Amino acid sequence: MIQLERISKIYGELPKQAIALKNVDLKIGKAEFIVVRGPSGSGKTTLLMSIGGMLQPSSGTVRINDKDIYLLSIVERSRFRALNIGFVFQMFHLIPYLSVLENIILSTRHIKYDDSNKKAYSLIEDLGLSDRINYKPSELSAGECQRVALGRALIHRPKIILADEPTGNLDPENSSIVMKTFSNYHQNGGTVIIVTHGEDADPFADRVIYLKKGEIK
């Protein structure tokens, strides 16, 4: 389903060049749960962004469902992301002036789900945010913020979830909510690729990938 062929990513120009990824080959099947691990600066974020169509590799191809996503136009790639991919970040990146509900339904714009509001409410319920619907991010705890971000990533039923250290700023309780949510999504046929330092994702993982200096070990 996801196929990376000899992906390399080099940041900057010589002599300050940083090689973030080095000839990475990777195949990820449908509905796989992948954990990516590695020391800081090993290229995990770069890998995730490349898979998500957010960062064009310096060389190599990224194919999703046999489609080379970097051959798509910028507009087509945006649309592709809107339909297929959900991102979750360590820093949540919620929109500060929108409420919980508005942050969650913001990503449904591109998709013609007539039930997006209904879906949003049931997600909010599942994520335990029912009494926070009209709160702004600044009025929420870190755990609640990340749950909102999960809602935002899941509402349009993407085929792939890309999560970059989603539990890095969370307490164990919230971390476990996040992991359970991913697991649920995975059991319903979703593909999860998650970058994490801890071992809390391991029980759900089909595979653990180790990155070191831009290479898979």
Residue 44 makes contact with ligand ADP by CB under 6 A: yes
SS (H, E, C) 42-55: CCHHHHHHHHCCCC
Question: What is the nearest approach in angstroms of ligand ADP to the Cβ of residue 72?
Answer: 22
Rounded to the nearest 10 degrees, how much is the dihedral formed by the CA atoms of 7, 1, 33, 10?
10
Kindly state the tokens that stand for 105.
Answer: 């339904």
Residue 50 makes contact with ligand ADP by CB under 6 A: no
Residues that bind another protein (CB under 8 A): 45-46, 49, 52, 54-55, 74-75, 78-83, 85, 87, 89-91, 93-98, 102, 106-107, 109-110, 136, 152
- For another protein, give the closer residue by CB, 70 or 204: 70
- For Mg ion, give the closer residue by CB, 45 or 108: 45
Residues 6+ positions from 58 with CB-CB distance below 8 Å: 8, 9, 10
174 binds, among Mg ion, ligand ADP, another protein, none (CB under 5 to 8 A by kind): none
Residue 57 makes contact with ligand ADP by CB under 6 A: no
152 binds, among ligand ADP, another protein, Mg ion, none (CB under 5 to 8 A by kind): another protein
Residues 6+ positions from 76 with CB-CB distance below 8 Å: none
User: Which x/- pattern, by CB under 5 A, does the window 43-62 give for Mg ion?
Assistant: --x-----------------
Question: What is the nearest approach in angstroms of Mg ion to the Cβ of residue 214?
Answer: 13
Are 96 and 137 within 8 A, CB to CB? yes
C-alpha closest to that of 86 among 59, 106, 113 = 106
Tell me, by CB under 6 A, how many residues bind ligand ADP.
12
Distance of alpha carbon 162 from alpha carbon 121, whole angstroms: 23
Residue 20 makes contact with ligand ADP by CB under 6 A: yes
- For Mg ion, give the closer residue by CB, 45 or 107: 45
Q: Which residues bind ligand ADP (CB under 6 A)?
A: 11-12, 18, 20, 38, 40-46
